[in-house]
Every structure is written in structure tokens, then in C-alpha cells.
């Protein structure tokens, strides 16, 4: 049985995971992105982290998983159990408030909070991340990565991307 | 639960996703406009992800590793419907195939959220949330090129519909496991899926000023029972060429 010298709390682990970033948007952490679905520490101090990808085919999830393992090991947790599953599926409401701010600072319109019923309005009514105007138009629901759509702002004449509501 | 029946359904769905992903990816760099190039490429990447997730479920049930399943079988071992095998043709053919295929996928995954096999029900919930973007894309263009288009665009979409609609029924071909799949509550069945699909497709096609041809359902059957078109094996040869150079390579 492996025990760790230091026993961490769930909160300690969450703090560590703030240092693991999405490789495609390297300013947002896996915590703020909402891909960490569960953290647990058992009586023996063994650490388990559960994750889920934004999109099923997201190629970044393996990189993020390895990042999680690496940061936990750096903190002395030799054998963390990190699993990826769809038990708690990701949706865009899982992005934290701080995460939305980070996305906007990165130049991406954050996903709007929605009730998970897909209506075209939420794709069309998007605020420009540069000038906050709502005078924008959806150009295509598919962008440079699976999780982004492409829009155009008539106010500041700039194309921009949105982190898609899912 | 009848494990062989479950695996049969998973293989059919996974192979459909893998092969349509490959066909969609053939538009990368060739789309008629940049946005369509990106759309078909993105949808291809989603489909590949769905295929991997389904092959992973099969792996958990004792089948080989996902890469081995995807890259080492020949056409006689594939379960895909003939619809996904056809070459991309002109853009109108690919668009209409995308519309008919994804409409069926959307309904299939919605129904599978009730599956008695929990890992599949969970995956279905997740995949459904992505496929809505695929059907949104397809329906937008069917409408744009149909009732909102000009004579030429409308004629081309109608002609593609006449060709592809009969082939699309290959998606609903049953296998000898159908009764077990329905009895065990794994899936409500191909007949229910086909009925809902015809209803949905009819409503969009009619709203787009187009008409559906009559179709003899069974002409394009075969794929689910390993009888494929002449196009599948060349596709597999191309798809696996890098893997075959060194099957033991670490990626």
C-alpha cells in the first residue's frame, strides 16, 4: 500500500490543478475550464481525479491528463489515479466565472449560460470580446478547434471566435 | 444482457463514424469555400472522436485495442452501411449525404440515451450535444441551396437527393442480433429509428422546396453483414497506409 508523506485535502489538490492549462488556450486552467469532474482523497491519502473532455474528439484531453499527473507527482503524490470518462459530461455551463473572464481576455467570446436546450439565438446573439457590441453575426459554427465558432463584429469590424455553448 | 448483440450494435455505429470521418476529411483543403472546408474537417474530427469512444467501449467488452480494430481489419470485417463508403463526389453529393446521415445519427443517439447499457447511454448523451451542430450545419445549407437558392443550386441538391436518399436506407439494415438488441433494451430498434428519420427528413426537404424520390429500401443493404461497395477496401488501404508501415510504432 502506497501512502503519501503529506496528506492533502481536496482543496489542496484543486489548488494544484490550477497550474494545469488547456494546451489550445494556455491561459485557462483545467479547473476553470470545468473538465475536472471529481477530486477525492481517501483515508490512506490516495488521490483520485476524474476528468471529462469538452468534446468527445478533443485531442487536448490526453495532454491535460498528463499535465494533471505531472503536477500531482511534483507535489509528492507518487501514484495519483487520474481517469477520463463521460460519467459527468462536460457542458459549457461548467466553465467558471473566472474562466469566462480568462477566455474573454484571451480574445474569445465566453459561452453564454444556457439551459442546455439548443436554440439558434444563443449562436447568433454573441457579444464581441473586443468592444462588447452585440451587433455581431455568426459566420460559421465551426472554427479552428472543435470548441470554437467564428463570428464577425459590425461595430469594430473584427472577426472573432466564441467558445461554443454545448 | 446479450453481449454479442451489444457488440454488434457498437461495431456498426463505430464503423459508420470512422468511415464517414475519413470521407469528410477528404474535403480538407478542397471545400468550395473556406467555411465549408473547416466545417467538414471539424465534423470529421468529431466523428473520429465518436468512433474512438465506441471502439473504447468495445475494448472494455474484451475486443482489441481501438487502433488495432480501426487499422488492421479488411472490408469483410467491417460493419458500416454502404452510405458512408461512397466517394465524396461533388459537394452536393457530400452535403446531402451529411444531411441524411447526421439526421439519422441525431435520432439514434437521442434514442440511445435510454439504453439499458449504461456506458452507451452516457456516451449518447454527450454525443447528442455535439451532433446538434452537425445537423444545424446540414439543415442550414439544404435550406440555403434549396428554397433560398437559385435554379441551379436547387436542381443540383434535388438531383443529389434522388441519388443519395435510396442509399441512406442502408443505415437501417438489421442484423441477426436485432431481436436480442431490442429485447434487452440496448436500443429501441432500426424500425423505430427509420420511421422517425423519414418523418424528420421529409419535413426539412419539403420546407426547402425539394421532394423525396421513391426508394426501394433494401437495394443498398449488405454493409451491416459485411457486403460492401467496391469503394470500401481502397479507402481502408489509404486510411491505414501509415499505420501499416510500422504497426508497432508508438504514437
CA distances (Å), origin B151, targets B147, B160, B210 = 9, 14, 12
Cβ B129–A141 below 8 Å, yes or no? no
Cβ A89–B125 below 8 Å, yes or no? yes
Cβ B39–A116 below 8 Å, yes or no? no
Q: For residue B48, is it within any domain?
A: yes
Compute the distance between CA of residue B42 and CA of residue B140 in angstroms, rounded to an integer.
16
Q: Which residue has the cell 438489421?
A: B174
SS3 B15: helix
Phi/psi for A37 (5° steps) reads: -100, -20
Q: Which band of pLDDT confidence, cut at 50, 70 and 90, is reported for residue B216?
A: confident
Q: What is the mean pLDDT of chain A?
A: 91
Candidates B43, B130, B132; nearest CB to A56: B130
Q: Is B94 left (phi over 0), alpha (psi -120 to 50) or beta?
A: alpha
Q: For residue B113, is it within any domain?
A: yes
Q: To which H or E segment does residue B238 belong?
A: helix B232-239
Percent over 70 (pLDDT), chain A: 93
Q: Which residues contact B76 (CB under 8 A, 6 or more apart)?
A: B226
Q: How many CB atoms lie within 10 A of CB B2?
A: 14
* ipTM for the complex shown: 0.84
DSSP A79: S
A140 contact residues in B (CB cutoff 8 A): 35, 38-39
> Grid coordinates in use for B171?
443505415
What is the rounded (10 degree) CA torsion for A96, A101, A103, A106? -160
Give the CATH number of the domain where residue B76 resides: 1.20.1260.10
A55 contact residues in B (CB cutoff 8 A): 46, 49, 130
**CA B222 to chain CA centroid, nearest Å:** 15
Cβ B48–A166 below 8 Å, yes or no? no
Q: For residue B102, is it within any domain?
A: yes
Q: For residue B250, is it within any domain?
A: no
Cβ B38–A56 below 8 Å, yes or no? no
**Tens-place pLDDT, residues B225-239:** 999 999 999 999 999
**Nearest-CA distance B214 → chain A (Å):** 32
Asked whether the beta carbons of B98 and B90 are under 8 A apart, the reply is: no
B137 at A interface, C-beta within 8 A: yes
For chains A and B, what is the number of CB pairs under 8 angstroms? 68
Of A28, A151, A152, A48, residue with least CA distance to A92? A28
Q: Which band of pLDDT confidence, cut at 50, 70 and 90, is reported for residue A115?
A: confident
Compute the distance between CA of residue B55 and CA of residue B238 in angstroms, rounded to an integer.
20
The tally of domains found in chain B comes to: 1
DSSP B86: S
Mean pLDDT across B27-31: 95
**Nearest-CA distance A86 → chain B (Å):** 6
Mean pLDDT across B196-200: 98
Query: Which alpha helices (DSSP H) does A4-44 contain, by range?
Result: 10-17, 30-33
Asked whether the beta carbons of B74 and B236 are under 8 A apart, the reply is: yes
A57 contact residues in B (CB cutoff 8 A): 45-50, 52
Q: How many CB atoms lie within 10 A of CB B116?
A: 12
A4: pLDDT strictly greater than 60: no
Parent domain of B16: 3-245
B186: pLDDT strictly greater than 70: yes
Greater model confidence, A120 or B57? B57
Residue-wise DSSP of B38-85: HHHHHHHHHHHHHHHHHHHHHHHTTPPPHHHHHHS--GGG----GGGT
Q: For residue B226, is it within any domain?
A: yes
DSSP β-bridge partners for residue A160 = A151
Q: How many CB atoms lie within 10 A of CB A101?
A: 13
**Tens-place pLDDT, residues A13-55:** 999 999 999 999 999 999 999 999 999 999 988 999 999 999 9
CA distances (Å), origin B170, targets A109, B43, B106, B175, B225 = 41, 21, 16, 12, 11
Q: Which band of pLDDT confidence, cut at 50, 70 and 90, is reported for residue B145?
A: very high
Architecture of domain A10-90: 2-Layer Sandwich (3.30)
Mean pLDDT across B63-78: 96
Q: For residue B251, is it within any domain?
A: no
pLDDT of residue B146: 95
pLDDT of residue A144: 86
Of A16, A19, A90, residue with least CA distance to A53? A90
Q: Which band of pLDDT confidence, cut at 50, 70 and 90, is reported for residue B11?
A: very high
B14 at A interface, C-beta within 8 A: no
> Grid coordinates in use for B118?
449504461
Q: Which residues contact A83 (CB under 8 A, 6 or more apart)?
A: A48, A49, A50, A51
DSSP A113: P
B108: pLDDT strictly greater than 70: yes
Q: Which band of pLDDT confidence, cut at 50, 70 and 90, is reported for residue B25?
A: very high
Percent over 90 (pLDDT), chain A: 76
A1: pLDDT strictly greater than 60: no
| Beta-carbon-side half-sphere exposure of residue A165 (alpha carbons within 13 Å) | 17
Compute the distance between CA of residue B184 and CA of residue B4 in angstroms, rounded to an integer.
12
B125 contact residues in A (CB cutoff 8 A): 86, 89
- Strand A81-84 vs strand A25-29: parallel, antiparallel, or unpaired? unpaired
**Tens-place pLDDT, residues A74-94:** 999 999 999 999 999 999 999
Of B13, B50, B157, B14, residue with least CA distance to B94? B157
A118: pLDDT strictly greater than 70: no
Q: For residue B220, is it within any domain?
A: yes
Mean pLDDT across B15-33: 97
Asked whether the beta carbons of B18 and B51 are under 8 A apart, the reply is: yes
Substitution target from A34, A124, A142 for chain B, most B beta carbons within 10 A? A142
Domain map (residue ranges) of chain A: 10-90, 107-163
| SS percent in chain B: helix, strand, coil, step 5 | 70, 0, 30
**Nearest-CA distance A122 → chain B (Å):** 12
Compute the distance between CA of residue B241 and CA of residue B100 in angstroms, rounded to an integer.
30
A157: pLDDT strictly greater than 90: yes
B125 at A interface, C-beta within 8 A: yes
**Tens-place pLDDT, residues B88-99:** 999 999 999 999
A37 contact residues in B (CB cutoff 8 A): none
Amino acid at each position: 500500500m502506497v501512502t503519501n508523506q503529506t496528506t492533502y485535502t481536496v482543496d489542496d489538490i484543486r489548488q494544484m490543478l490550477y497550474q494545469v492549462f488547456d494546451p489550445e488556450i494556455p491561459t485557462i486552467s483545467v479547473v476553470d475550464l470545468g473538465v475536472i469532474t471529481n477530486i477525492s482523497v481517501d483515508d490512506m491519502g490516495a488521490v483520485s481525479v476524474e476528468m471529462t473532455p469538452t468534446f468527445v474528439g478533443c485531442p487536448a484531453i490526453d495532454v491535460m491528463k498528463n499535465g494533471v499527473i505531472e503536477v500531482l507527482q511534483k507535489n509528492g503524490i507518487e501514484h495519483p489515479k487520474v481517469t477520463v470518462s463521460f460519467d459527468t459530461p462536460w457542458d459549457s455551463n461548467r466553465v467558471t466565472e473566472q474562466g469566462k473572464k480568462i477566455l474573454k481576455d484571451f480574445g474569445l467570446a465566453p459561452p453564454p449560460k444556457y439551459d442546455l436546450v439548443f436554440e439558434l439565438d444563443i449562436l447568433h446573439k454573441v457579444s464581441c470580446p473586443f468592444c462588447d457590441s452585440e451587433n455581431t453575426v455568426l459566420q460559421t459554427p465551426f472554427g479552428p478547434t472543435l470548441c470554437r465558432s467564428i463570428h464577425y463584429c459590425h461595430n469594430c469590424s473584427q472577426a472573432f471566435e466564441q467558445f461554443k455553448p454545448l | 444482457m446479450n453481449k454479442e448483440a451489444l457488440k454488434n450494435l457498437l461495431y456498426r455505429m463505430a464503423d459508420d463514424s470512422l468511415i464517414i470521418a475519413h470521407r469528410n476529411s477528404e474535403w480538407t483543403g478542397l471545400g468550395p469555400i473556406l467555411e465549408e472546408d473547416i466545417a467538414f474537417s471539424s465534423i470529421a474530427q468529431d466523428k473520429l472522436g465518436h468512433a474512438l469512444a465506441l471502439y473504447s467501449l468495445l475494448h472494455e467488452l474484451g475486443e482489441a485495442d481501438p487502433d488495432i480494430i480501426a487499422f488492421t481489419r479488411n472490408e469483410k470485417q467491417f460493419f458500416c452501411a454502404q452510405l458512408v463508403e461512397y466517394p465524396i463526389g461533388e459537394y452536393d453529393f457530400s452535403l446531402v449525404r451529411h444531411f441524411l446521415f447526421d439526421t439519422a445519427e441525431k435520432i439514434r443517439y437521442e434514442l440511445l440515451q435510454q439504453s439499458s447499457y449504461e456506458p452507451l447511454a452516457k456516451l449518447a448523451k454527450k454525443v447528442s450535444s455535439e451532433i446538434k451542430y452537425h445537423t444545424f450545419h446540414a439543415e442550414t445549407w439544404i435550406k440555403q441551396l434549396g428554397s433560398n437558392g437559385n435554379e441551379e443550386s436547387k436542381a443540383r441538391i434535388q438531383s443529389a437527393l434522388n441519388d443519395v436518399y435510396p442509399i441512406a436506407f442502408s443505415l437501417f439494415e438489421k442484423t441477426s442480433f436485432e431481436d436480442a438488441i431490442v429485447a434487452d433494451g440496448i436500443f429501441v430498434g432500426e424500425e423505430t429509428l427509420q420511421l422517425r428519420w423519414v418523418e424528420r427528413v421529409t419535413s426539412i426537404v419539403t420546407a426547402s422546396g425539394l421532394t423525396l424520390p421513391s426508394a426501394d429500401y433494401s437495394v443498398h443493404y449488405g454493409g451491416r453483414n459485411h457486403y460492401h461497395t467496391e469503394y470500401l477496401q481502397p479507402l481502408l488501404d489509404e486510411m491505414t497506409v501509415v499505420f501499416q508501415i510500422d504497426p508497432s510504432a508508438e504514437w
